[in-house]
Amino acid sequence: MKATWKGTVIAESDNTVLVEGNHYFPEASVKKEYLTFSNHKTTCPWKGEASYHSLLVDGEMNIDAVWTYADPKPEAEMVRGHYAFWKGVIVAA
C-alpha cells in the first residue's frame, strides 16, 4: 500500500493493518520529513486517544491529515506504532 498526497509518497508498506476501512502504516514506513506538528486530538470509544500530524509537501499544508494511537486501548493494540491518513491523502495498492 502507498499513501500519497500531491503526488508525493508519504508512506509505503506491504504490512498495513486494516481497521474500519483505514490502512494503518507501520511507523518505519512513514516519511517523517513530511509530518508537522498538530495539537489536535480525538477520542475513539474502543481505540483510545488519537494524536494528529499535519502534512507539509512542497510548501502546501494539509492540516490534521495523519493520525496515530500512541497508547491504544487493549482491544486496539494492533494499531500501536502505526499511522493512518485522510483529508485527500490517497491510499491505494
Q: Give residue limits of the domains in the chain.
A: 2-92
Report domain 2-92's class: mainly beta
Residues 6+ apart with CB under 8 A from 74: none
CA distance 80 to 77: 5
CA distance 87 to 81: 21
The DSSP output letter for 30 is B
Confidence label for 28 from pLDDT (cuts 50, 70 and 90):
very high
H-run or E-run covering 11: strand 8-12
Tens digit of each residue's pLDDT (9 = 90 or more) over 48-59: 999 999 999 999
